[in-house]
Amino acid sequence: MAVSIERVSKTYGTRTGEIFAVDDVSLTIKDGEFVALLGPSGCGKSTLMLMMAGLVARSVGRIAIGSTTVTRPYTDLGIVFQEANLLDWRTVLKNLMLQIEIRGLPPAQYEARARELLKMVGLDGYEQKYPFELSGGMQQRVSICRALVHEPPLLLMDEPFGALDALTRDQLNMDLQDLWMDKPKTVIFVTHSISEAVFLSDRIIVMTPRPGKIAADIKVDLPRPRTMAMRETPEFGAYTKQIRAMFEDWGVLRTERTPAQKLGAVA
């Protein structure tokens, strides 16, 4: 499921005038690619992803998924947000099967897949638990499984691990890689974590501070499956160093302390 973005911009009207969120972005994502949208907070990466889903209207330009121009909410996909957004009154399994019910698909054909996905992320035996009985990381695993249970060709993920602790985030990176390698599909993954983007992606689209433009399109040539130990290698470090240098040039990351900070440290 290829994605084509042609000269897309997004502006928002405010009391003091228009604000550009995304400015003249063109991008082609090939079928089966895992692509990260990486940039500082407020750079428009989430807005760009939501425009792909048809959940936010573009101001100008064209977005197409396959042969379909996106002019309304596009449904042949899975989507995961930062919050798990599970229904408290439904069990884990029934939260997954809600996707099937809403789409009018035959439950008997998909329950086995739902159970298989839960097993792949270490939640077999939790099918009858309720969300309040799960940790935040476990809830997000359920959310990812729910987005995948109907076998969509396209998966959109908007900072899905941003609210989790570092160890849980690492494990979910591994889980997501396993799920993607088991049944590859096109994935667009929004993040502000440099190391996460390098670990997961085939390509990293680096966006500038607002208004969001594409500053770099970086192909990640690291073997799969990737391991946590790979993050300590020179090859991995070269990618993170390249991107970090861009953020430093923009002033998003500041490595030098100001005179006032230096005086404070001495005091």
- The reported pTM is 0.90
CA distances from 211 to 22, 23, 24, 40, 57 (A): 5, 6, 9, 11, 17
Q: How far is CA 50 from CA 46, 175, 206, 230, 244, in A?
A: 6, 24, 17, 32, 26
Check whether residue 54 and residue 161 sit in a common domain: yes
| Residues 73 and 96 occupy one common structural domain | no
**Same-domain check for residues 132 and 189:** no
Compute the radius of gyration of the chain from its Cα atoms: 20
CA distance 45 to 177: 21
The secondary structure element, H or E, covering residue 194 is: helix 194-200
Count of the separate structural domains present in the chain: 2
Same domain, 145 and 157: no
Could you list the residue range(s) of the whole structural domain that residue 136 is in? Answer: 86-151
Same domain, 108 and 208: no
pLDDT tens for each residue of the chain, 267 residues long: 799 999 999 998 877 878 888 999 999 999 999 999 999 888 889 999 999 999 999 999 999 999 999 999 999 999 999 899 999 999 999 999 999 999 999 999 999 999 999 999 999 999 999 999 999 999 999 999 999 999 999 999 999 988 788 998 999 999 999 999 999 999 999 998 999 999 999 999 999 998 889 999 999 999 999 999 999 999 999 999 999 999 999 888 777 665 555 555 544
Same domain, 219 and 184: yes
For residues 35 and 51, membership in a common domain is answered with yes
In a shared domain, residues 124 and 55: no
